[in-house]
A = this chain, B = another copy of it.
Amino acid sequence: MPSASEQDGGLRARLIEVGVDLVTTEGVQALSLREIARRAGVSHGAPRRYFPTHRELLSAIARRGFENLAARGAAAIGDGTASPREQLTTLGRMYLDFALTHRGMHELMFRHDLLESNELGLRETSLPIFALLTDLVGRARPGADARLVAGSLLANLYGIAQLWTWGSLQLTTGADDFAPLLRTALDAHLGPEG
């Protein structure tokens, strides 16, 4: 008897859910088509009915990661009454926290072979969050080219998440939590706090 969380929707939803579980517990290299099918209790040919190729299944799993991240973002900024700078700090901390807590998922989400093909709708997924970022940056730093600053800031956060995960920044900056680094990046792009 299937568990309550997967009793309902067909195989398609179950495959994605199994994939999400698998990538968070075992890492991204555990996401083979056959292993996902095995854990979903179906044969290795079954997923093909819903995902013509392995990469499309991976993309669907990664999309869940983006949705999760977006939901956390919405929850983090709350009613949006805080100052732009505070909201950006909260968003940055939330993102870095997500990347470090869900390493496997974060790695999957930004895999080149998924992002470069159009299967994963990166355009539709990332444009709204980029718009939000641009808006906040524009209000925090009127007069600057908000798109450029927001783009650089986003790249900065992403780079910190990456370099931090494999320990480069701990060694070189000597810090053991990412807060000072995040503050440095925000100070740089928004001007020092005050």
Residues of A within 8 A of B (CB): 28-29, 107, 110, 112-113, 115-116, 122-123, 126-127, 130, 134, 145, 147-160, 162-163, 165-166, 168-169, 171-175, 180-181, 184-185, 188-189
Contact = CB atoms under 8 A, between A and B. Distances in A.
Among A145, A152, A172, max chain B CB count under 10 A is at A152
Contact of A159 (B156, B180, B189): B156
Contact of A151 (B110, B150, B157, B163): B163
Among A107, A112, A116, A147, max chain B CB count under 10 A is at A112
A165 B111 CA distance: 12
A145 to B, nearest CB: 7
A152 B112 contact: no
26 contacts: A29-B113, A112-B165, A112-B166, A122-B166, A123-B171, A127-B171, A134-B172, A145-B184, A147-B173, A147-B174, A148-B180, A150-B172, A151-B160, A151-B172, A151-B181, A151-B184, A152-B181, A152-B188, A155-B156, A155-B160, A155-B163, A156-B185, A157-B159, A158-B159, A159-B162, A188-B189
Contacts of A188: 149, 152-153, 188-189
A158 B156 CA distance: 8
Contacts of A168: 122, 126, 130
A148 B147 CA distance: 25
A155 B147 contact: no
Contacts of A130: 168, 172
B148 A155 contact: no
Nearest to A134: B172
A175 B163 CA distance: 26
A184 B148 contact: yes
A102 B162 CA distance: 20
